[in-house]
Amino acid sequence: MYVILPDKSKIEVKDGATVADVASAIGAGLAKAAIAGKIGDELVDLSDAVADGDKVSILTDKSPEALGIMRHSCAHVLAEAVQIIYPGTQIGFGPQTEDGYFYDFDLPEAVSSDDFEKIEAQMKKIIDAGEPFVKEVVSKDEARKIFKDQALKLEHIEELDGDLTIRRHGNFVDLCSGVHVPDASKIGAFKLMKIAGAYWKGDADNKQLTRIYGTAFFKQKQLDEYLHNLEEAEARDHRKLGRELEIYTMDNMAGVGLPMYLPKGAIIIRKLQDWLRADLIERGYEEVITPHIYNADVWKTSGHYDFYKGNMYFFNINEGSDEEPKLSEYGVKPMNCPGHVMLYKAKQRSYRELPLRFFEFGTVYRHEMSGVVHGLLRARGFTQDDAHVFCTREQLVDEVVDILKLVDHIMTTFDFEYEAEISTRPEKSIGTDDMWDHATSVLKQACEVHNLKYDINEGDGAFYGPKIDIKVKDAIGRTWQCSTIQVDFNFPERFDLNYKTENNTLERPWMLHRAIFGSIERFLGILIEHYAGALPVWLSPVQLAILPIADRHLDAAYDLARKVKAAGGRVEVYEDSEPMRVKIAKAQAQKVPYMVVLGDKEIESGQVAVRERKAGDIGKMSIDDLIKEITC
């Protein structure tokens, strides 16, 4: 019989051949490197049989799917090792994850991360033995016998229908229909990462199990790089740096997920806003300001009352008197769109006014579960650099292109690499086929005009229109979703928006939602981690630290500080009587871009000795040149 290879060539194999036999027929090198296969689009084991005419691909450690397959196999090795070390262990589920894998256990004794070393040593023995992962299909009755001592598995078996797939490895066996590497020798470098509690099947009414997380890579170098990046990420954690650099704080008395900015943080936020505001005005945007609360009728008209109420904060206001109360329901805004729509509708619009671009730095509030709130990256209260564009159908491409140019300006300013993803129509949606086809085509065309590569995320658009998501890559390779450009068919219809055409008829405008930073809080958190707290000079809350050598130099230090402030610079004088090395260390810890050492010689010469936070001593500089350096 013949099977078809990815290059569409055919290769002959014997009847009953497996994926491994196909790999061998292609070549001995591929057979040795193979870890799994694909028949059509389905992942399969090397031991799975192929049929005449099947399209067969061989996966090696270079294949995109390979890492997940290997990690899942490593999870089984973890469970096998744990059962060897702790006899009587009951096993739960053990899937791969984005960064590795985990396994849930009901253990006969307490286990902590201190035990990882001996578990890893047992895992290494299992891997070195190189035993095969063997797949079997058994009936439910057979499965009950196999797992007679595994209470969690017996419970799970009763929830399944038909014959079941199990996976054996040495003396270890588990219910598993997933794909595995052929044998344990294909598992590369691994490490156990952390331990946590987890309820069986994620249900808090069930027993709490012990979850052990691990990761694995095909090469030790890849694991080392991953661990290094984790250390880097921990050192760059914006929550830690935000506290140390006195940028923001959280207070439990205020409530969960409500950041409060200290003076230095307020400077950064205002600099970001002022910078973007000036740029937007140049690009034809008009700034607006809208209320923080609206009557519930607004949210009913917008649809948020029906579809988003659980994420909003509602309350009643007595708009009558104590004697004759009249309660009206209000909601705190989770987004700025309804206000901008109502401003559009404040008067009859003409085609001559379009495109109309409203922007606002609007603070919004959304109810997030306390367990997912994460510093500035996910908060309950945050400010969006929100904008909405109202335009004609013909203007849509140019408007999206202009927004992409703005995205490029912002992201390249901060040295971010970025990519785009276009999300298309989901199953449940509003709008006609023509509207969706046109809007999606516009987003693609705009990316192409802008020479921006994009991926398609099929069916993941909002119910009211397709969108472009911009994903940025930071200094240590992590990807963050930031900017969004969203076509909206919903609001113009719900709020009955229109404009007068050249022929004096009424038409619906097209509407774009657009945020570049997204949440300013989140963007700041990303910036802090991207720069490890050492923000660009123009954005640093303190640009210059003046370090007087002795108390007699304080007056000159404050004179210099006044000159810098007068020129628009931000400066601090380190006036404490401390050794110079201590003052320098403090300025370094605060990530201050420039430091000047001020003593008798500097005062007499009119030049100051300058230190840069990364380069160290950069020599002497006149005061005027120094001011230009930090205020350019």
Length, in residues, of the chain: 632
Please pick, among 169, 366, 583, 611, the residue that the annotation labels catalytic: 366
Taking CA atoms, 233 is separated from 100, 227, 230, 381, 591, in Å, by 17, 10, 5, 24, 17
Is 553 an active-site residue?
no
Is 219 an active-site residue?
no
Is 74 an active-site residue?
no
Please pick, among 21, 386, 469, 474, the residue that the annotation labels catalytic: 386
Cα R_g (the chain), whole angstroms: 31
The single residue listed with the structure tokens 């929550």 is: 239
Please pick, among 156, 236, 357, 513, the residue that the annotation labels catalytic: 513
Please pick, among 388, 444, 450, 570, the residue that the annotation labels catalytic: 388
Return the closest-CA partner of residue 362 out of 293, 433, 450. 293
Is 176 an active-site residue?
no
CB 73 within 8 A of CB 37: no
Q: Which of 578-581's residues contact partners 24+ apart within 8 Å by CB, and which partners? A: 580/547, 580/549
Is 386 an active-site residue?
yes
Give the phi and the psi of residue 224 in degrees, each rounded to 5.
-60, -40
Q: What residues contact residue 171 under an 8 Å CB cut-off, 6+ apart?
A: 80
CB 530 within 8 A of CB 377: no
Round to whole Å and give the CA distance between 406 and 390.
17
Please pick, among 38, 153, 333, 467, the residue that the annotation labels catalytic: 467
Please pick, among 337, 391, 447, 482, the residue that the annotation labels catalytic: 337
CB 135 within 8 A of CB 73: no
- Beta-strand runs (E) in 440-509: 454-457, 467-473, 479-488, 499-500, 506-507
Q: How far is CA 197 from the centre of its chain?
A: 24
Round to whole Å and give the CA distance between 609 and 596.
5
What residues are paired with 194 via a beta bridge?
213
Active site residues: 337, 366, 384, 386, 388, 467, 513
